[in-house]
Amino acid sequence: MSSTRLIDAVVVGAGPAGATAAARLAQAGLDVALIDRGEPPREKPCGGGLSPKAHRALEVDVSDLVLARPRSVVLRAPRGGPAALESRVGEIWMVQRPAFDQRLVEHARARGAKLLTNHLVRRVTPGEGGETASIETDRGEIRAAAVIGADGADSVVARGARLRVGRDRDYVLALEAEGPRPSVGLTDVAVVDFSLRRGYAWFFPKGDVSNVGVGTADRSQFRNLRRHLADFVDHNHFQFAQPPRVVGHKIPVWRGVEPLHRGNVVLVGDAAGVADPFFGEGIAYAMQTARFAADAIARFLGSDWTDLSGYTSAVQSILGRDLRFWTILAGLVYRAPSLSVLLLSHSRLCQRLADQAISGDKSFSKIWKR
């Protein structure tokens, strides 16, 4: 692409948020380009667990990609016995992110979105007062009536639009590894261990493979994450046939009220920083922000809305209710993890409420049920 193109909407980033937004915009009859710097499917650091909130939000069938559906989660803390949480509400769907992301991209293309792969976006300049936005790539410039930034924690779109300027202040740093199913150790249930300060370690079963990791928001622990991961694997006697490759990534968690739009540009998913501050769940919230963004842009381009402030308002007022709850809960549990796990292990009421909150059946946002 050597010359400037004009298009209705450009979505930067072909993850779950970007693909969902592109599919909905294309289905609304808009000319949409979905840009990715790589060639899907590509690896994505992520535990690969879809909560009931996440798989209810899906607009395409991924049942054939689900490798395991654990209902049981073992919760651990520095002191006291573990608590087993058995869900009566919904399963966690364990998937491989490359295959999952590719399915969503294929859905977007089937709806009419154009996929532009191996396009490195260098700069995005929002359009103000009816002007088009400029998307500068290594293949040339694209002009668009609206832009959705779905390009992750280090979003080029966010930088160009001068949004989330303090995004490096609040995030979870995670290390994870995925490899063949351990020959020894818990292999049929998920494990969440709150022994790490302001964070946790996890084990997720995925049939013949498994995912282990650690994540924390405590910056003093960042340099020790690799040791924490090794300790967690050793403590649980997980024995892998060969050492899995360890990768790191940022999880941008909710920071409260802040603008998520400027001119004709909006941010979704990790670019918008909407992972919950407790579990770091991002996929469910990413797809919901994509829905809000696609609806807002369709209204904006259709002249029903004069600006995109309604998008920021929807995220803050609807999803924000859930995310504020998880922020408060994270503060309580991370301050006293052993007491929290003990209370959960002895209270059926707390177990039921935790199950319903995780699944979205009890939700402040009222959007998770179809």
d(CA 311, CA 308): 6
Q: What is the CA radius of gyration of the chain?
A: 20
List residues bridging with 316 in a β-sheet: none
Q: For residue 320, give the amino acid letter.
A: G
Tokens linked to 239: 């024995």
- Is the backbone peptide bond immediately before 243 cis, with ω within 30 degrees of 0? no
- The SS3 of residue 10 is strand
d(CA 8, CA 114): 12
What confidence tier does 364 reach under pLDDT thresholds 50, 70, 90?
Answer: low
List residues bridging with 267 in a β-sheet: 149
**Is residue 181 pLDDT above 80, yes or no?**
no
End-to-end Cα separation, the chain, in angstroms: 41
Q: Convert 112-128 to b/e letters by CB count within 10 Å (16 or more is b).
A: bbebbeebebeebbbbe
- The residue with tokens 């964070």 is 199
Q: DSSP assignment, residue 364?
A: S
Please check whether residue 199 is in contact with residue 217, taking contact to mean a CB–CB distance below 8 angstroms: yes
Please state the pTM of the whole predicted model.
0.90
Please check whether residue 188 is in contact with residue 181, taking contact to mean a CB–CB distance below 8 angstroms: no
**Is residue 369 pLDDT above 60, yes or no?**
no
d(CA 326, CA 281): 10
- The SS3 of residue 329 is helix
Phi, psi of 286 (to 5 degrees): -65, -45
Comparing 87 with 347, which gets the higher pLDDT?
Answer: 347
Mean pLDDT computed over 38-59? 81
Mean pLDDT computed over 169-187? 78
Helices and strands (H and E) in the chain: how many: 11, 17
What confidence tier does 239 reach under pLDDT thresholds 50, 70, 90?
Answer: confident
pLDDT tens per residue, range 271-310: 999 998 888 888 999 999 999 999 999 999 998 899 999 9
pLDDT tens per residue, range 22-47: 999 999 999 999 999 988 777 776 77
Please check whether residue 203 is in contact with residue 186, taking contact to mean a CB–CB distance below 8 angstroms: yes
- The SS3 of residue 222 is helix
d(CA 98, CA 109): 16
Comparing 370 with 318, which gets the higher pLDDT?
Answer: 318
pLDDT tens per residue, range 245-264: 888 888 898 888 889 999 99
d(CA 45, CA 139): 27
Phi, psi of 152 (to 5 degrees): 85, -170
Q: Which residues contact 345 (CB under 8 A, 6 or more apart)?
A: 75, 80, 81, 82, 83, 84
Which of 273, 310, 306, 274 is CA-nearest to residue 292? Answer: 310
Q: What was the pLDDT predicted at 240?
A: 72
Work out the number of other CB atoms within 10 angstroms of the CB of residue 248: 14
Residue ranges of domains in the chain, CATH in brackets: 5-45+97-168+253-336+345-359 (3.50.50.60), 69-91+169-251 (3.30.9.10)
Q: DSSP assignment, residue 223?
A: G
d(CA 352, CA 367): 20
What confidence tier does 185 reach under pLDDT thresholds 50, 70, 90?
Answer: low
Q: Convert 319-328 to b/e letters by CB count within 10 Å (16 or more is b).
A: bbebbbbbbe
